Structure 1
Amino acid sequence: MAKKIDPETLRASVAKISDWLDRGAPDADRPARQPLAAAVRATARTLAQDAPGHSVEVRIPPFVAVQCIEGPVHTRGTPPNVVETDARTWLLLATGRLSWEEVLDARRADVSGSRAAEIARWLPIIEC
């Protein structure tokens, strides 16, 4: 089992990249890889803590993939319920700067499976 993410670590990691999330140009002043990776991993792993289970896989390449949401366990091959998005979109979603509906409407995430949308219940992960 992964190390538990404490709320202070979560807040600190997101605070380091918060200015970048607030800017409209995603490639302008992109944070260094380490702080960006830390924020992505902390928010995704917090989702997995808050919504434990193995029925939905959330992927934010190249940083992390977590399984969450109670339900049938998937053990081989591609999981039937997957949400995959880029780091910026994930962080905007995780911090409440974008809603699940906005992400879906703008096709900013690949979503497959009948249970993938259940992550919306657990969002935002941290409000900034």
Structure 2
Amino acid sequence: MPPRLRPADPAAVAAALAAHPRTKADSKLLTKHFMAVLAERAPGRSVEVRVPPFAAVQVIEGVRHTRGTPPAVVEMDAETWIALATGELVWGDAEASGRVTASGQRADLTPHLPLVED
């Protein structure tokens, strides 16, 4: 896992999730937190998940990539990522509405979402 991607303090995550409206700092904290959780739960290097400008992480076992564009790329904005990670939005709806851009094998993150635990 990239050194800057670590799960955040649970109290900070709860506070950021409860914030309405959410600040840029809240979105950054939640994006990096949920990217770190995804990296822990779905280790690998075959899919690159990008949430600009906050984070990118390579996850999911499969064809390893070392340079250039990985075999699969998923990109979305922070609010979409947070909604997917928390279960407020499902993958199919996000993709159908154009909120997610996904290409390549294994680019469907459905088996790994949501990331919150009940």
Return 5+ residue gaps in structure 1 as ranges. Answer: 24-28
1:123 aligns with 2:84: no
1:6-45 matches, within 5 Å, as: 9=9, 11-19=10-18, 29-31=21-23, 33-45=24-36
Identity across matched positions, percent: 44
The equivalent of 1:26 in structure 2 is none
**CA deviations over 1:46-87 (Å, ceiling 9, x no partner):** 101100000001000000000110011111111120110000
- Measured in 2, the distance between the counterparts of 1:88 and 1:127 equals 19
TM-score by length of 2: 0.86
**CA deviations over 1:3-56 (Å, ceiling 9, x no partner):** 5845x72x4343223245xx7xxxxx341x322211100001110110000000
Root mean square deviation, CA, Å: 2.1
Counterpart of 1:109, as a letter, is V
TM-score by length of 1: 0.80
Q: Does the Cα contact within 8 Å between 1:81 and 1:113 map onto a contact in 2?
A: yes
The equivalent of 2:92 in structure 1 is 101
Aligned pair partner of 1:71 in 33, 38, 62: 62
Q: Does the Cα contact within 8 Å between 2:6 and 2:32 map onto a contact in 1?
A: no
- Measured in 2, the distance between the counterparts of 1:13 and 1:120 equals 26
Aligned pair partner of 1:57 in 43, 48, 70: 48
Counterpart of 1:77, as a letter, is G
Counterpart of 1:113, as a letter, is G
Counterpart of 1:86, as a letter, is D
